[in-house]
Amino acid sequence: MYTNRNIIQVSYPIFLGLLAQNIINVTDTAFLGHVGEVELGASAIGGLYYICLFTLAFGFSIGSQILMARRNGEGNYTAIGTILNQGSIFSFLLAVVLLVSSLLSARPVMRLMLSSDVILDASYTFFSIRVWGLLFSFINVMFRAFYVSITRTKVLTLNAIVMAAINVVLDYALIFGKLGLPRMGLEGAALASVIAEAGSLVFFLLYTRYAVNRQRYGLTLDLRPRLSIVRHILSVSVFMMIQQFIPLATWFVFFLAIEHIGQRELAIANVVRSIYILVLIPVQALSTTTNTLVSNAMGARATDQVPRIIKRVAAISLLFSACCALLMVLIPRTMLSVYTSDTALIEAAIPSLWVIAAALLVAALGNIYFNGVSGTGNTRPALVIEAAGQTLYTIYILCTCWWLQWSVAACFTCEIVCYTMLFIGSNIYFRYFNWKKAHI
């Protein structure tokens, strides 16, 4: 049975890896908040469009991670490298297809959904540069899945430092024209993000080449597609890909609905969402840990440990989230001032921050239990739970934001609704489904 110390030791590097991935969006928001409301809103729309595409690779990597963790638990180490190799080839080809199709279709799609021409032009400008990051991020997530599955997660700490450092320095230099570089504003933020993801991939390649026992894990460069292996990965991953895409797609709907309310409201939503992303990172790290530990336990035929693992991780998640929620309640102005110096914008955003503090506590439990479902290898029931939660989420958004045009704070209560559904659905799964006999 894993102790609290074991769980935190596995989760901490994952936390830093997620921080590095999300620091791109957070630093973009923080810097652009001091440029203007149009840039702030455009980075939200363009950034979410990109993340919706990225979640397809992230979902594929989670499915790959489940398989690699299961093989690790079984002691079949050489099969791990084959999964990583074939998964990376598929991910890169998918990135190329999405890159080309997005450059051709993004602007017409955005035109259909956005009411402001100013926001439309700025959003597409940001996205047309940011989308090139797919070529690097789609492979990065496969390497993260590999290191998480073998519970060698400390490398993610180093990768997080490299990626964050590149992005922060280049954001500052390219947005404001510092360090001898041109002043590019919104375009500079997008370019800095792409370069940071490229730097992350270079780090993973070098570290894997020189610091990993490649023979043990079967890590050989083989560019020949092996469709049987890709089909096996997809049999697990396809539901995870849909599952990861759905919540980001609904986030996109949320921001489109807010954009129809007003430019100021869109800026508020982006700032609050940026803080929400940061405080959710510990929960997401612990969720990934839950997925891996449950999958390893299933591979080792220790199914009786699964409920105890989930409960232990959920308790840790709730503790961390309570601390973050308390900070949002006690010092909201301090947190918001990082993103903007506009006093009126800060005051208008405080109620939304308080709603997010409450949502975080529900997410702390819902996310952990839901990832426990995925960790058992039964990705189809996980997709059903996700789809039910997100359907309710979307209906709630359309009613409160689009039709009734409630305040931004009231609209953010959709997060509480969604995570409550995930928590209830996951508990029903563990109580009534025969999950102990899942085979992958």
**Which of 116-130, 244-258, 328-342 has the weakest average pLDDT?**
244-258
Residue 95: its pLDDT value, please?
Answer: 97
Terminal alpha carbon distance of the chain: 23
User: Confidence band (pLDDT; 50, 70, 90) for 14?
Assistant: confident
User: Confidence band (pLDDT; 50, 70, 90) for 103?
Assistant: very high
Name, of 218-227, 293-302, 420-429, the range with top average pLDDT. 420-429
Residue 224: its pLDDT value, please?
Answer: 81
Residue 106 has pLDDT above 80, yes or no: yes
The SS3 call for residue 353 is: helix
Q: What angle do CA 287, 140, 92 make, to 5 degrees?
A: 120
Global pTM value: 0.78
Q: CB under 8 Å to 17, separation ≥6 — which residues?
A: 144, 153, 156, 157, 159, 160, 285
Cα→Cα distances 402→87, 240, 407, 440, Å: 39, 29, 11, 42
Residue 177: its pLDDT value, please?
Answer: 94
Q: Pick the residue with more confidence: 332 or 383?
A: 332
Task: Report pLDDT digits (tens) over 310-357.
Answer: 999 999 999 999 999 999 999 999 999 988 888 998 999 999 999 999
Query: What is the rounded CA–CA span in Å between residue 141 and residue 163?
Result: 13
- What is the span of the domain harbouring residue 47? 4-437
Residue 286: its pLDDT value, please?
Answer: 92
Residue 208 has pLDDT above 60, yes or no: yes
Residue 437: its pLDDT value, please?
Answer: 67
Cα→Cα distances 244→61, 62, 119, 387, 416, Å: 11, 9, 26, 10, 18
User: Confidence band (pLDDT; 50, 70, 90) for 239?
Assistant: confident
Domain count, the chain: 1
Residue 124: its pLDDT value, please?
Answer: 95
The SS3 call for residue 180 is: coil
Under 8 Å between Cβ of 268 and 274: no
Q: CB under 8 Å to 239, separation ≥6 — which residues?
A: 63, 379, 380, 382, 383
